[in-house]
Structure 1
Amino acid sequence: MDSKEEEYREIFLAEALENYEELNRLITELEKNTSNKNAINAIFRITHTLKGNAAGMGFEDITKMSHTLEDLFVEIREGKLQVDAAIFTDIFKAIDTLGALIDALKTGKTVRYLGIKTKLEVILKKAAEAGMPLSTNDNHDSQKKNTDQNQIKQQVENTIPNEDRVVNNEPEKIATEIASDPLNQQVLENTQALLDDIFAAKEILTSEKSAEADTVDTKLTFSDLVQVPVKKLDNLLNLVSELTIERDRIIAMNSNGFSRNEYSRLQRISSDLQYSVMDVRLVQVGFLFNKFHRVVRDAAALEHKKVTLKLEGTDAEIDRNVLQIISDSLIHLIRNSVGHGIETPEERKKAGKSETGTVTLRASNESDAVIIEIIDDGKGIDSRIIKKKAIDKGLVSKETADTMSEADIIMFIFEPGFSSAEQVTAISGRGVGMDVVKRALDSISGNISVFTAVGKGSTIRLSLPSSMAVKGTLLFELDKSEYAIPLTYTEAVVSLYKSDVHKAGNGLIATHLGKTISIVFLKDLFSTADYSHHSQNTIFHTSFDQVNAKEKLAIIIVSYNNRKVGFVVDKLLQQKEIVEKPLMKPVDHVKFISGVTILGNGNICLVLNIANIISYIFKISNTIAGKALC
Structure 2
Amino acid sequence: MEMNEYLDVFIEESKEHIQALNEHLLELEKEPSNLTIVSEIFRSAHTLKGMSATMGFQDLADLTHKMENVLDAVRHHKITLNSDIIDVVFNAVDVLESMVLDITDGGEGKQDVTNLVNQLQAIEAGEVVTANEEAAVTVNQSASVQIEQQLDQFELTVLQQSQEKGFANYQVTVRLQESCLLKAARVYMVFEILEKIGEVIKSTPSVTELEDEQFEYDFNVILVTKDTPDMIKQKIMKVSEIEEVVVAELSLDNISEQNEYTQTQSNAVQQDNSEANSGKETTKSQVSNRTIRVNIERLDALMNLFEELVIDRGRLEQIASSLRDAELQETVEHMSRISGDLQNIILNMRMVPIDQVFNRFPRMVRQLTKDLNKKVDLQIYGAETELDRTVIDEIGDPLVHLIRNALDHGIETPEVRKQKGKPEEGILKLNAYHSGNHVFIEISDNGAGIDREKVITKAISNGIITREQANGYTDKQVYQLIMESGFSTADKISDISGRGVGLDVVKNTIESLGGNISINSSFNEGSTFLIQLPLTLSIISVMLTEVQNEKYAIPLSSIIETAIVHKKDIMHAHNKQVIDFRGKVVPLVSLKEVFEVPGDVEEDDYYSVVIIRQGEKMAGLIVDTFIGQQEVVLKSLGNYLTDIFAISGATILGDGQVALIVDTNALIK
Partner residue, 1:586 = 640
1:239 match: 305
CA distance in 2, matches of 1:394, 1:237: 46
Deviation string, structure 1 residues 409-452 (Cα, Å, up to 9, x no partner): 22111111405996449x97496421111111111110211112
- State the Cα distance separating 1:527 from its structure 2 match: 4.3
Equivalent residues of 1:445, 1:488 under 8 A apart: no
**Counterpart-to-counterpart distance in 1, 2:651 and 2:478:** 36
2:453 pairs with 1:384:
yes
Q: Cα gap change, 1:20/1:227 in structure 2, threshold over 3 Å: closer, same or farther?
A: farther
Map 1:193-342 to 2 at 5 A.
223-257=289-323, 258-259=325-326, 260-342=329-411
Counterpart CA distance in 1 for 2:16 and 2:478 is: 50
Q: Flag the 1:398–1:490 CA change in 2: closer, same or farther, 3 A.
A: same
Structure 2 partner of 1:554: 608
Q: In 2, Cα distance between the equivalents of 1:284 and 1:352?
A: 38
2:581 counterpart of 1:512:
yes
Counterpart in the other structure of 2:559: 490
Kindly indicate whether structure 1 or structure 2 has the higher relative contact order, using CA contacts under 8 Å at least 6 residues apart. Answer: 1
Distance 1:273 1:490 in 2: 27
Shift of 1:565: 1.0
Contact 1:278 1:469 in 2 (8 A): no
Residues 102, 564 of structure 1: alpha-carbon distance in 2 compared, 3 angstrom cutoff = same
Deviation at 1:604, TM superposition (A): 0.3
Matches for 1:57-72 after TM superposition, within 5 Å: none
- Secondary structure of 2:640's counterpart equals coil
Say which is worse superposed, 587-596 or 39-48, in terms of deviation.
39-48
Q: Please tell me whether residue 410 in structure 1 is matched to residue 479 in structure 2.
A: yes
Q: Write the letter of the residue equivalent to 1:495.
A: I
> How many residues are treated as equivalent by the alignment?
442
Partners in 2 of 1:233 and 1:478 — Cα distance? 36
* Residue 576 of structure 1 pairs with residue 630 of structure 2: yes
Percent identity between matched residues is 32
**CA distance, structure 2, for counterparts of residue 21 and residue 301 of structure 1:** 30
Looking at structure 1, the residues matched to 300 and 623 of structure 2 have their Cα atoms a distance apart, in angstroms, of 34
Equivalent residue, structure 2, for 1:100: 282
Runs of at least 5 residues in structure 1 that lack an aligned partner in the other structure: 1-10, 31-35, 52-73, 107-221, 529-542, 616-630
Q: Evaluate the alpha carbon distance shift between residue 279 and residue 90 of structure 1 in structure 2; reply closer, same or farther with a 3 A threshold.
A: closer
CA contact (8 A) 1:389 1:420 kept: no
SS of the equivalent of 1:511 reads: strand
**Shift in Å, 1:300:** 3.3
Amino acid in structure 2 at the alignment position of 1:473: V
How far the C-alpha of 1:317 sits from its partner, in A, is: 0.7
Structure 1 residue 557, shift from structure 2 partner:
1.3
Q: Does the aligned pair in 1 maintain the 2:482–2:499 contact within 8 Å?
A: no
Q: What is the DSSP-based 3-state SS (H/G/I as helix, E as strand, rest coil) of the residue aligned with 2:578?
A: strand
Q: Is the 8 A contact 2:488 2:504 kept in 1?
A: no
> Aligned residue for 2:594?
525
1:393-472 pair list within 5 angstroms: 393-418=462-487, 423-424=492-493, 429=498, 432-472=501-541
Matched-pair contact (CA < 8 Å) for 1:594–1:607:
yes
Question: Cα distance 1:224–1:44, how it changes in 2: closer, same or farther (>3 A)?
Answer: farther
Task: Compute the TM-score of the two structures, normalised by the length of structure 2.
Answer: 0.59
* Most deviating of 412-421 and 472-481: 412-421
Question: Which whole-Å CA distance do the structure 1 matches of 2:269 and 2:480 have between them?
Answer: 67
Aligned residue identity for 1:475: L
Contact 1:29 1:39 in 2 (8 A): no
Match in the other structure for 1:603: 657
Show CA shifts across 1:502-523 (max 9, x none): 0111212221122222222222
Partner Cα distance (2:281, 2:460) in 1:
68
In the alignment, the residues of structure 2 paired with residue 84 and residue 304 of structure 1 have an alpha-carbon distance, to the nearest angstrom, of 42
Q: String of CA shifts for 1:441-490, please: whole Å, max 9, x gaps.
A: 11111021111222221111111011122112221111221111122221
> Whole-Å Cα distance in 2 between the matches of residues 445 and 87 of structure 1?
50
Whole-angstrom distance in 2 between the partners of 1:347 and 1:21: 46
Equivalent in 306, 329, 343 of residue 412 of structure 2: 343
Q: Quick one: distance in 2 between partners of 1:275 and 1:84?
A: 47
Structure 2 contact 450–497 (Cα < 8 Å) conserved: no
Computing the radius of gyration from Cα coordinates, the structure with the larger value is 1
Q: 5+ residue gaps in structure 2?
A: 1-11, 18-43, 73-116, 126-263
Alpha-carbon distance in 2 for matches of 1:509, 1:453: 33
